[in-house]
Structure 1
């Protein structure tokens, strides 16, 4: 009985330790994402008191016909073409990085308030989609009003893919899209330099 109690006590302690390690890991990931998004959104934040960001991570960018990130052969060709200050992206990202970007970007991912700067407001994607839908439907019917145009721009928002940290946190990959009357989107690659994130690649995919 005494031996059973000792074993149970050890098991309980191990459970507590693993739980704390798990919580610490989650907390660290939240902090990493917050630091990255603070850098990505720095300019937007400086221009506005509130920046709207979709709570749900974007997975639709994976269907972009110009990119096909889940087709490693296609993504590898793109990686060979893009140059960063005369250096090929191929020399930075390896096949394992591409596979990780593809697989993790397909996961359902929800941003929490712990992951974003204080001036960022997380909003439901359904609400944002409804604004855009009304605007583009009116454009198609040629009935767009100045009020609808103003409403869309007032409610302009940002969508991100799930942030992917590569090579033990040395690089961070994220897809960024700005949704307003003039939408744009880019693939962004950051490098950690002296504990700060520095942009080394911004590859535009869409400007309309």
Structure 2
């Protein structure tokens, strides 16, 4: 329960751009509750905590902080909006200090290949959405779900990879080696 509250507060600080507060923890908890954030994300946050390192858990919580940020092709910040690879790059840089390449196909090439059955929160998932391999990327958050910046007119959101659209376009899974974690050889 303590981790959940800390995670909610971390998530709240990431949402500060969307919900001004006076720094009061009770106020932040109220804002998160009003927005339904705690109810929507509780299971993903708990799953991340149970399945992966603290760094990966922090990464997932950081990514959730960008929910609702508008999509913008080429965008790489809260102020300008995000495209899929810009979101992934920003989350990794801000949460664990890892700088990834800018484009989704470059991110796939620069990370460790894993099997879909090995997915853990914080891993990258790739899709063929533009008739070319690795044209879309998101961050796996657990329970078959991923967070991504979908397309023009959309906003950063969580979706289920088991939906037919995503299942037929799934292109591969990758793991980003983080400092202090051992990695196996790429396959």
TM-score, normalising length: structure 1:
0.27
Structure number having the greater helix percentage: 1
Normalization by structure 2: what TM-score? Answer: 0.29
Bigger CA radius of gyration? 1
Q: Which has the higher strand share?
A: 1
